Copies of this chain bind each other. A is one copy, B any other.
Amino acid sequence: MIKIAPSILSADFARLGEEIASIPSADYLHFDVMDGVFVPNISIGIPVLASVRKITDMTLDVHLMITEPRRYVKDFIDAGADIVVIHAEADTPEHTMEALREIRALGKRAGLCIKPKTPAEAALPYLNMLSLILVMTVEPGFGGQKFMPDMLPKVEFLRRAIDSGGHKVELEVDGGINPETAKLCVAAGADVLVAGSAVFGAQDRAAMIRRLRGA
């Protein structure tokens, strides 16, 4: 069963409560944190997550596009994150491992994200620690970008690595996902699809979530 994680980066931030209430069939709510240092945009952070946590029981899938994420893992968990996804490129391997360990020690699901220029192999050393791997299918920083089909071999590679190792790790993709690119991602082995503009820009959001899930 494919899971759908609408990204609130494409929502109307003046009425987040209503936006979130409009997607009850979503599996995860994807929460894009950008610090203006690791990526060229500054989006939303801890107090916004705390406000969102108060109004929904949905699984909050928090994607930290920030430098040295280890510094903020606990703050985001305290604010309500269920899954904390950090970037393989955001700190040293030692600190990345420490951050993943801390997420798990705090009882939450640990995720690792790789940018388009990072090879899939970069995720392998962490596989035992992970509940989720996120493959970026656009350069992180903005919503509404075009899907990069040359990321599909990375999804296939990671699907094989996860299955052959018997790991219980979800494989998520993020960037330019619509009903057409969703098909490609699912065929390559993705089981969680992040979609921002596709869902929040749809006339019928529930129908769009069904279409993506059926990809």
Q: Is A107 an interface residue (CB 8 A)?
A: no
| CB closest chain-B residue, reference A18 | B15
User: In the complex, are the beta carbons of A45 and B34 less than 8 A apart?
Assistant: yes
| CB closest chain-B residue, reference A15 | B17
Q: Name A32-50 residues within 8 Å CB distance of B.
A: 33-37, 41-48, 50
What residues of B have a CB within 8 angstroms of the CB of A14 in the complex?
16-17, 20, 51-52, 54-55
User: In the complex, are the beta carbons of B9 and A42 less than 8 A apart?
Assistant: no
Instruction: Give CA–CA (A34, B75) in the complex, Å.
Output: 14
Q: Is A157 an interface residue (CB 8 A)?
A: no
How many copies of this chain? 2
The count of residues in chain A whose C-beta lies closer than 8 Å to any C-beta of chain B is 31
Instruction: Give CA–CA (A37, B35) in the complex, Å.
Output: 8
A45 contact from B44, B55, B75, Cβ within 8 A:
B44
Which of the segments A64-72, A91-99, A110-118, A128-136 contacts the partner chain?
A: A64-72
In whole Å, how far is A42's beta carbon from the nearest beta carbon of chain B?
3
Binary per-residue interface labels of chain A (1-33) against chain B in the complex, 1 for a CB within 8 Å, 0 otherwise: 000000001001111110010000000000001
21 pairs from A and B in contact (CB 8 Å cutoff): A9-B47, A12-B51, A12-B54, A13-B44, A13-B52, A14-B16, A14-B55, A15-B15, A34-B45, A35-B36, A35-B42, A36-B71, A37-B37, A41-B45, A41-B46, A43-B45, A43-B46, A43-B48, A44-B44, A44-B45, A44-B47
Tell me the A residues contacting B by CB distance below 8 Å: 9, 12-17, 20, 33-37, 41-48, 50-52, 54-55, 66-67, 71-72, 75
